[in-house]
């Protein structure tokens, strides 16, 4: 081949350059460099994907079910989930599409709704993908800072709505704070969005990690809300990339068309595994997760300031020396402890995220290390 010795370097787009993964990547790089880290930084369950789902994945592969599926998902899975959703919220018209993980659902919902210049109200601290994806589409994030209570105030949301507001995007139970939005707030948000002609997008991926009160879905209060969900956290299937979204027919049909031109479909074997996962009893691993939450809260009480989380599998304490970033660096250096600085989830550098989906031995080591770091 005849290639020039010094070819001009390709320049990546401004859009791609705007994504910054340095915070999370730094943590992953660190994990590789430490011999025996205490890793409280990982955002996925520590229990195995259920046996029935693993079996179904093996059988599907062996049976040659390895090709594309319908864009909107395997009929067996899509129809079952749609029937469950319609029954739960009493909306016989609600429509559901299977997506490539909840991330896929998020991408499609935003692509279906956001035009350049549109505003999306988000709440910080927020899941890392929200802001870059809105900006990727030429939208603008109007950020409501929920610190220090991490509660959503519907009046503040009402005041943030402008003629350009297209959507309100929220997440409960929340990554990274673990906060669960109470039912009356979900209802107030849904009614506000409907009154003002704005789409409420509700990321309910951690729905089954709701420890102290029943979970309230945006779909319980609005027929126009778009709900994002998935199997990653509920059934420890993060690698299988199966999620879904549901909402009004016209939005879901737009998402399905967009899926045809982007992800094509969710992986077929993952969808068969997900169908089997629906019949697996997850109550034990979920109860274990609640027990670990209680253990971490009890272990850190009096040493750190934090709002007690009612869900997900995260705790979001205040950094004792003021900076979450500095604390995360000190934790690695002094204790080989990995935590995620709050700057990954927003502009404030005041907190850090702990994930308690680890073995009891790791959690005990983590608590001991955190207590030493607090003094």
* Adjacent-strand bridge partners of 243: 99, 230
Residue 102 near ligand PLP by CB under 6 A: yes
Q: Kindly tell me which of 299 and 310 has the beta carbon lying closer to ligand PLP.
A: 310
- Residue span binding ligand PLP (CB under 6 A) among the ranges 25-33, 101-109, 244-252, 353-361: 101-109
Give the CA-trace dihedral at 106, 203, 150, 316, to 10 degrees: -80
Return d(Cα 266, Cα 322) in angstroms, integer: 43
- Kindly tell me which residue out of 101, 248, 267, 366 binds ligand PLP, with binding defined by CB under 6 A: 101
Considering only 38, 40, 41, 43, the residue that binds ligand PLP (CB under 6 A) is: 43
Exactly one of 154, 230, 299, 346 binds ligand PLP (CB under 6 A); which one? 230
Distance of closest approach, residue 215 Cβ to ligand PLP, in angstroms: 14
Confirm or reject binding of residue 175 to ligand PLP (CB under 6 A): yes
Q: Which of 224, 238, 257, 336 binds ligand PLP (CB under 6 A)?
A: 238
276 and 55 Cβ atoms separated by less than 8 Å: yes
- Tokens found for residue 206: 């951690």
Cβ pair 93, 223 in contact under 8 A: yes
Q: Is residue 165 exposed (0-12), middle (13-18) or buried (19+ Cβ within 10 Å)?
A: buried
d(CA 226, CA 95): 10
Of the pair 121, 367, the CB lying nearest ligand PLP is at 121
CA 350 to chain centre: 21
Residue 31 — left, alpha, or beta (φ > 0 → left; ψ -120 to 50 → alpha)?
alpha
3-state secondary structure 315-337: ECCECCCCCHHHHHHHHHHHHCE
Stretch that binds ligand PLP, among 17-25, 59-67, 98-106, 336-344 (CB under 6 A): 98-106
When the beta carbons of 103 and 271 are compared against ligand PLP, the nearer one is: 103
103 binds ligand PLP (CB under 6 A): yes
Of the pair 285, 299, the CB lying nearest ligand PLP is at 285
Find the part of the chain contacting ligand PLP (CB under 6 A) among 29-37, 99-107, 114-122, 315-323: 99-107
**Residue 296 near residue 316, CB atoms below 8 Å:** no
Closest distance to ligand PLP from the beta carbon of 243 (Å): 5
Sequence-distant (6+) residues with CB within 8 A of 29 are none
Determine the residue with CB nearest ligand PLP: 101
Site for ligand PLP in 187-206 (CB under 6 A): 203, 205
Window of 48-56, 96-104, 340-348, 354-362 that interacts with ligand PLP by CB under 6 A: 96-104
Interface with ligand PLP (CB under 6 A), residue total 13
Q: Which stretch binds ligand PLP (CB under 6 A): 151-159, 216-224, 230-238, 292-300?
A: 230-238
Residue 276's CB is within 10 A of a number of other CB atoms, namely 20
The interaxial angle of helices 101-113 and 249-260, nearest 10 deg, is 110
- Among the residue ranges 22-30, 78-86, 97-105, 112-120, the one whose residues contact ligand PLP (CB under 6 A): 97-105
Cα 347 from Cα 143, distance rounded (Å)? 10
- 150 dihedral zone (left: phi>0; alpha: psi -120 to 50; beta): left
Given 72, 91, 165, 171, the residue binding ligand PLP (CB under 6 A): 171
Question: Which residues 125-154 are close enough to bind ligand PLP by CB under 6 A?
Answer: 127
228 or 369: CB nearest ligand PLP: 228
Residues that bind ligand PLP (CB under 6 A): 43, 101-103, 127, 171, 175, 203, 205, 230, 232, 238, 243
């Amino acid at each position: 081949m005849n290639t020039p010795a010094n070819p001009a370097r390709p320049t990546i787009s401004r859009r791609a350059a705007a994504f910054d993964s340095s915070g999370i990547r730094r943590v992953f790089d660190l994990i590789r460099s430490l011999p025996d880290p205490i890793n409280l930084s990982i955002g996925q369950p520590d229990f195995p994907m259920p046996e029935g789902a693993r079996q179904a994945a093996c059988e599907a592969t062996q049976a040659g079910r390895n090709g594309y599926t319908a864009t909107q998902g395997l009929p067996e899975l899509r129809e079952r989930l749609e029937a469950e959703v319609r029954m739960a919220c009493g909306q016989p018209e609600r429509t559901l599409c299977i997506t490539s993980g909840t991330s896929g659902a998020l991408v499609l919902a935003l692509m279906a709704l956001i035009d350049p210049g549109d505003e999306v109200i988000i709440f910080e601290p927020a899941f890392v993908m929200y802001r870059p994806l809105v900006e990727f589409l030429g939208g603008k994030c109007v950020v409501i800072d929920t610190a220090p209570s991490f509660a959503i105030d519907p009046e503040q949301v009402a005041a943030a709505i402008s003629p350009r507001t297209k959507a309100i995007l929220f997440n409960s139970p929340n990554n990274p704070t673990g906060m669960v939005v109470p039912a009356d707030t979900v209802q107030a948000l849904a009614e506000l969005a409907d009154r003002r002609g704005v789409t409420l997008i509700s990321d309910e991926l951690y729905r089954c990690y709701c420890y102290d009160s029943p979970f309230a879905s945006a779909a319980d209060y609005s027929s126009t809300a778009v709900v994002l969900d998935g199997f990653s956290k509920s059934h420890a299937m993060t690698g299988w990339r199966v999620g879904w979204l549901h909402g009004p027919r016209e939005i879901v049909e737009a998402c399905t068309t967009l899926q045809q031109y982007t992800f094509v479909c969710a992986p077929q074997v993952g969808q068969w595994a997900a169908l089997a996962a629906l019949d697996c009893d997850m109550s034990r691993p979920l109860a274990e997760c609640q027990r670990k939450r209680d253990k971490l809260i009890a272990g850190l009480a009096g040493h750190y300031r934090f709002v007690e989380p009612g869900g997900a599998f995260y705790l979001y304490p205040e950094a004792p020396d003021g900076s979450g970033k500095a604390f995360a660096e000190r934790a690695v250096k002094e204790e080989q402890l990995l935590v995620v600085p709050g700057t990954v989830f927003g502009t404030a550098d005041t907190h850090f995220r702990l994930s308690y989906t680890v073995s009891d031995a790791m959690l005990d080591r983590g608590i001991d290390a955190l207590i030493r770091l607090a003094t």
